[in-house]
Structure 1
Amino acid sequence: MSADGTNDPEFVKQAGSASKDALLSCPCGPAPDQFASDYKSTNAGATPGVYSVEGYDLTTIMLKGIDSGITDRAKLVDFVKNYKGDGLARHYEWSDTGELSSALIWIYQVK
Protein backbone atom coordinates (compact mmCIF):
# COMPACT_ATOMS: atom_id res chain seq x y z
CA MET A 1 0.00 0.00 0.00
CA SER A 2 1.32 3.44 -0.80
CA ALA A 3 0.82 7.03 0.16
CA ASP A 4 -1.07 9.42 -2.11
CA GLY A 5 0.76 10.33 -5.28
CA THR A 6 2.66 7.08 -5.80
CA ASN A 7 0.56 6.35 -8.87
CA ASP A 8 3.47 7.25 -11.11
CA PRO A 9 5.07 5.22 -13.92
CA GLU A 10 8.48 5.83 -12.31
CA PHE A 11 7.43 3.87 -9.22
CA VAL A 12 6.69 0.79 -11.30
CA LYS A 13 9.76 1.31 -13.48
CA GLN A 14 12.11 1.60 -10.50
CA ALA A 15 10.46 -1.11 -8.38
CA GLY A 16 10.24 -3.55 -11.28
CA SER A 17 8.61 -6.87 -10.49
CA ALA A 18 8.55 -6.00 -6.77
CA SER A 19 5.71 -3.58 -7.57
CA LYS A 20 3.39 -6.36 -8.82
CA ASP A 21 0.02 -6.21 -7.02
CA ALA A 22 0.99 -3.03 -5.14
CA LEU A 23 -2.03 -0.89 -4.24
CA LEU A 24 -1.46 2.76 -5.05
CA SER A 25 -3.78 5.43 -3.70
CA CYS A 26 -4.03 8.84 -5.27
CA PRO A 27 -6.43 11.79 -5.30
CA CYS A 28 -5.68 11.83 -9.02
CA GLY A 29 -8.15 10.27 -11.39
CA PRO A 30 -7.45 8.94 -14.84
CA ALA A 31 -7.21 11.55 -17.60
CA PRO A 32 -10.32 11.78 -19.78
CA ASP A 33 -9.63 10.49 -23.32
CA GLN A 34 -9.93 13.89 -25.03
CA PHE A 35 -7.67 15.55 -22.44
CA ALA A 36 -5.07 12.79 -22.83
CA SER A 37 -5.16 13.10 -26.63
CA ASP A 38 -4.87 16.90 -26.55
CA TYR A 39 -2.10 16.69 -23.94
CA LYS A 40 -0.06 14.28 -26.06
CA SER A 41 -0.43 16.41 -29.17
CA THR A 42 0.79 19.57 -27.42
CA ASN A 43 3.54 17.93 -25.32
CA ALA A 44 5.68 16.03 -27.84
CA GLY A 45 3.80 12.76 -27.33
CA ALA A 46 4.15 12.71 -23.54
CA THR A 47 1.28 11.21 -21.59
CA PRO A 48 -0.41 13.26 -18.85
CA GLY A 49 1.36 13.09 -15.50
CA VAL A 50 -0.09 12.05 -12.17
CA TYR A 51 -1.73 15.41 -11.40
CA SER A 52 -2.05 16.85 -14.92
CA VAL A 53 -5.86 16.87 -14.96
CA GLU A 54 -6.13 18.41 -11.49
CA GLY A 55 -3.44 20.96 -12.38
CA TYR A 56 -5.40 21.89 -15.49
CA ASP A 57 -8.61 22.24 -13.47
CA LEU A 58 -7.01 24.41 -10.78
CA THR A 59 -5.31 26.63 -13.36
CA THR A 60 -8.66 27.02 -15.10
CA ILE A 61 -10.29 28.09 -11.82
CA MET A 62 -7.57 30.71 -11.24
CA LEU A 63 -7.93 31.98 -14.81
CA LYS A 64 -11.70 32.32 -14.32
CA GLY A 65 -10.98 34.58 -11.36
CA ILE A 66 -8.52 36.65 -13.39
CA ASP A 67 -10.95 36.81 -16.33
CA SER A 68 -13.60 38.16 -13.95
CA GLY A 69 -11.34 41.15 -13.27
CA ILE A 70 -9.58 40.07 -10.08
CA THR A 71 -6.03 41.41 -10.04
CA ASP A 72 -4.66 40.75 -6.55
CA ARG A 73 -3.77 37.69 -4.52
CA ALA A 74 -6.18 38.25 -1.62
CA LYS A 75 -9.16 38.54 -3.95
CA LEU A 76 -8.06 35.44 -5.92
CA VAL A 77 -7.82 33.47 -2.68
CA ASP A 78 -11.34 34.61 -1.80
CA PHE A 79 -12.56 33.69 -5.30
CA VAL A 80 -11.18 30.16 -4.97
CA LYS A 81 -12.55 29.74 -1.42
CA ASN A 82 -16.02 30.52 -2.75
CA TYR A 83 -15.73 28.70 -6.07
CA LYS A 84 -18.19 25.92 -6.87
CA GLY A 85 -18.04 24.14 -10.20
CA ASP A 86 -17.12 21.07 -12.17
CA GLY A 87 -13.74 20.47 -13.71
CA LEU A 88 -12.45 17.56 -15.76
CA ALA A 89 -11.40 15.64 -12.65
CA ARG A 90 -14.24 16.37 -10.21
CA HIS A 91 -16.57 18.91 -8.64
CA TYR A 92 -14.59 21.67 -6.91
CA GLU A 93 -15.91 23.28 -3.75
CA TRP A 94 -13.95 24.01 -0.60
CA SER A 95 -15.00 23.82 3.05
CA ASP A 96 -14.41 26.62 5.56
CA THR A 97 -11.12 24.95 6.50
CA GLY A 98 -9.88 24.94 2.90
CA GLU A 99 -10.36 21.23 2.24
CA LEU A 100 -12.21 19.95 -0.79
CA SER A 101 -15.76 19.24 0.29
CA SER A 102 -15.72 15.99 -1.68
CA ALA A 103 -12.29 14.37 -1.59
CA LEU A 104 -12.01 11.51 -4.07
CA ILE A 105 -9.32 8.88 -3.73
CA TRP A 106 -8.68 6.34 -6.49
CA ILE A 107 -7.00 3.02 -5.76
CA TYR A 108 -4.87 1.50 -8.51
CA GLN A 109 -3.37 -2.00 -8.53
CA VAL A 110 -0.10 -2.66 -10.36
CA LYS A 111 -0.48 -5.62 -12.72
Structure 2
Amino acid sequence: MPPALVQIEHHPYQPRTELVRFCHERGIHVIAHSPLSVPGLLAEPVLADITDETGLTPAGVVLAWNVTRGVVPIPSSTTTSRVVGNLAAAGRRLDAETCDRIDMLRRPDFER
Protein backbone atom coordinates (compact mmCIF):
# COMPACT_ATOMS: atom_id res chain seq x y z
CA MET A 1 0.00 0.00 0.00
CA PRO A 2 1.53 3.36 -1.00
CA PRO A 3 1.83 6.08 1.63
CA ALA A 4 -0.80 8.82 1.70
CA LEU A 5 1.68 11.47 2.84
CA VAL A 6 5.30 12.13 3.67
CA GLN A 7 6.69 14.65 6.10
CA ILE A 8 10.03 16.16 5.11
CA GLU A 9 12.31 19.08 5.79
CA HIS A 10 11.17 21.55 3.13
CA HIS A 11 12.14 25.21 2.86
CA PRO A 12 13.75 27.49 0.27
CA TYR A 13 17.26 26.30 1.18
CA GLN A 14 16.21 22.67 0.59
CA PRO A 15 13.17 22.67 -1.71
CA ARG A 16 13.59 18.98 -2.61
CA THR A 17 11.86 19.65 -5.91
CA GLU A 18 12.42 16.17 -7.32
CA LEU A 19 11.02 14.46 -4.22
CA VAL A 20 8.00 16.77 -4.11
CA ARG A 21 7.34 16.13 -7.82
CA PHE A 22 7.72 12.36 -7.32
CA CYS A 23 5.19 12.42 -4.49
CA HIS A 24 2.69 14.61 -6.32
CA GLU A 25 2.84 12.40 -9.42
CA ARG A 26 1.81 9.47 -7.22
CA GLY A 27 -0.89 11.27 -5.26
CA ILE A 28 1.22 11.45 -2.10
CA HIS A 29 0.73 14.60 -0.02
CA VAL A 30 3.86 16.39 1.19
CA ILE A 31 4.05 18.05 4.60
CA ALA A 32 6.85 20.46 5.53
CA HIS A 33 7.80 20.22 9.19
CA SER A 34 9.32 23.29 10.86
CA PRO A 35 9.46 25.31 7.62
CA LEU A 36 10.36 28.52 9.48
CA SER A 37 13.02 27.28 11.91
CA VAL A 38 15.92 27.42 9.46
CA PRO A 39 18.78 29.60 10.76
CA GLY A 40 19.09 32.79 8.72
CA LEU A 41 16.22 32.07 6.35
CA LEU A 42 13.81 34.77 7.52
CA ALA A 43 16.58 37.41 7.27
CA GLU A 44 17.19 36.75 3.55
CA PRO A 45 17.06 40.01 1.55
CA VAL A 46 14.94 38.45 -1.21
CA LEU A 47 12.26 37.60 1.38
CA ALA A 48 12.38 41.20 2.64
CA ASP A 49 11.85 42.44 -0.93
CA ILE A 50 8.90 40.10 -1.42
CA THR A 51 7.53 41.18 1.96
CA ASP A 52 7.48 44.78 0.72
CA GLU A 53 5.68 43.72 -2.47
CA THR A 54 3.08 41.40 -0.92
CA GLY A 55 2.46 42.80 2.55
CA LEU A 56 3.29 39.40 4.05
CA THR A 57 5.91 38.87 6.74
CA PRO A 58 9.06 36.94 5.77
CA ALA A 59 7.52 33.92 7.53
CA GLY A 60 4.31 34.47 5.59
CA VAL A 61 6.24 34.52 2.32
CA VAL A 62 7.83 31.15 3.14
CA LEU A 63 4.47 29.67 4.11
CA ALA A 64 2.79 30.98 0.93
CA TRP A 65 5.72 29.61 -1.14
CA ASN A 66 5.19 26.16 0.40
CA VAL A 67 1.46 26.16 -0.31
CA THR A 68 1.99 27.48 -3.83
CA ARG A 69 4.27 24.48 -4.43
CA GLY A 70 1.58 22.11 -3.16
CA VAL A 71 3.32 21.44 0.15
CA VAL A 72 1.45 21.71 3.46
CA PRO A 73 3.57 23.70 5.92
CA ILE A 74 3.16 23.06 9.62
CA PRO A 75 4.75 25.99 11.44
CA SER A 76 4.57 26.31 15.18
CA SER A 77 4.05 29.29 17.43
CA THR A 78 2.76 29.99 20.89
CA THR A 79 1.74 33.53 19.98
CA THR A 80 -1.91 33.84 18.97
CA SER A 81 -1.25 36.66 16.51
CA ARG A 82 1.45 34.63 14.75
CA VAL A 83 -0.80 31.57 14.54
CA VAL A 84 -3.51 33.70 12.95
CA GLY A 85 -0.98 35.39 10.64
CA ASN A 86 0.50 32.04 9.60
CA LEU A 87 -2.95 30.72 8.76
CA ALA A 88 -3.75 33.81 6.68
CA ALA A 89 -0.40 33.61 4.85
CA ALA A 90 -0.99 29.96 3.99
CA GLY A 91 -4.13 31.10 2.20
CA ARG A 92 -2.08 33.20 -0.22
CA ARG A 93 -0.52 32.03 -3.48
CA LEU A 94 2.56 33.52 -5.08
CA ASP A 95 3.06 34.06 -8.79
CA ALA A 96 5.65 32.06 -10.73
CA GLU A 97 8.15 34.91 -10.88
CA THR A 98 8.07 35.37 -7.11
CA CYS A 99 8.49 31.62 -6.57
CA ASP A 100 11.46 31.64 -8.97
CA ARG A 101 13.10 34.36 -6.89
CA ILE A 102 12.62 32.33 -3.72
CA ASP A 103 13.90 29.20 -5.49
CA MET A 104 17.20 31.03 -6.02
CA LEU A 105 17.83 30.61 -2.27
CA ARG A 106 18.41 26.87 -2.79
CA ARG A 107 21.57 25.63 -1.05
CA PRO A 108 22.39 22.03 -2.00
CA ASP A 109 25.04 21.85 0.75
CA PHE A 110 22.75 23.19 3.52
CA GLU A 111 22.84 21.20 6.75
CA ARG A 112 21.38 21.91 10.15
What's the TM-score bracket when you normalise by the shorter of the two chains?
Answer: under 0.3
State TM-score, norm by structure 2.
Answer: 0.24
State TM-score, norm by structure 1.
Answer: 0.24
The structure having more radius of gyration, on CA atoms, is: 1
Greater share of helix residues, 1 or 2?
Answer: 2
